[in-house]
Chains A and B, each alone.
Chain A
């Protein structure tokens, strides 16, 4: 601590070390928050359902989703990424996931959402397995923090079924 530059260096080093500790503590404080999001998705309509010449099934849906994701937001949350995936089982694969819609929620004020939309991304199966298929709609989310650990979880909504015939 004998010179100006030495003192400045010591202070800067210590200040940055403490900043890192503060960020680690902020990340740790996210564990104290227990989110209780709610979500509800309805399939309002099967717009069309067809088999492509290449043998793949594809379906177009109209979805209505209402969700309250406000409890995910803490002081250390930058944004939340959410997506709805159709999940179903086929003889070849025990889990198929097809993303139908996604969105980025930038703040707590925008975390109460109500959306009426057709599927944003194509719902097609690699094969011809969709007729009469039972599927789940799952709301996945990734909570992106300002510092530290990212959290991910999901809500599984069961009991959806595709029609038995192409239309």
Chain B
């Protein structure tokens, strides 16, 4: 899942859950049934899980553009530095 996909997935998850919760509460209250509220919400949570948790193709529409390897070689690689203790001792002598 790419960066845009992760953002989309999180927003979808939050919006869908709040939406289902609202629908469930209003329906349950109007029908006078606590059970109906819980069933609608449970169905909503399962549906939201199926939509936002698996790595679906539509979460991968914005792949990262990596630099070419050739371009990277133009720049010098970082070199390992010699350890600090020995040079300081030599300098004191």
- A-side residues, CB < 8 A to B, are 1-2, 4, 7-8, 10-11, 14-15, 18-19, 21-22, 25-26, 29, 74-76, 146
Contacts and interface: CB of A to CB of B under 8 A. Distances in A.
Query: Shortest 6 CB-CB distances between A and B: which pairs?
Result: A1-B6, A75-B32, A7-B53, A18-B21, A15-B45, A1-B10
Given A1-B9, A11-B53, A22 B41 contact: yes
A25 B48 contact: no
B29 A75 contact: yes
Nearest to A145: B34
Given A1-B1, A1-B9, A19-B41, A8 B53 contact: yes
Most buried by B among A21, A22, A74, A146: A22
Q: Of A4, A11, A21, A146, which is in contact with the most chain B CB atoms at under 10 Å from its CB?
A: A11
A29 B29 contact: yes
Contacts, number: 59
Mostly helix, strand, loop or mixed at chain B's interface? helix
Contacts of B60: none
Given A15-B45, A18-B21, A26-B37, A2 B1 contact: yes
Interface in B21-59: 21, 24-25, 28-29, 31-34, 37, 41, 45, 48-49, 52-55
Secondary structure of the A contact surface, majority rule: helix
- Report the interface size class on chain B: 20 to 34
A29 B28 CA distance: 12
B17 A4 contact: no
Given A11-B13, A11-B45, A22-B41, 18 more contacts: A1-B1, A1-B7, A1-B9, A1-B10, A4-B54, A4-B55, A7-B52, A7-B53, A8-B49, A10-B13, A11-B48, A14-B14, A21-B21, A22-B21, A26-B25, A26-B29, A26-B34, A75-B32
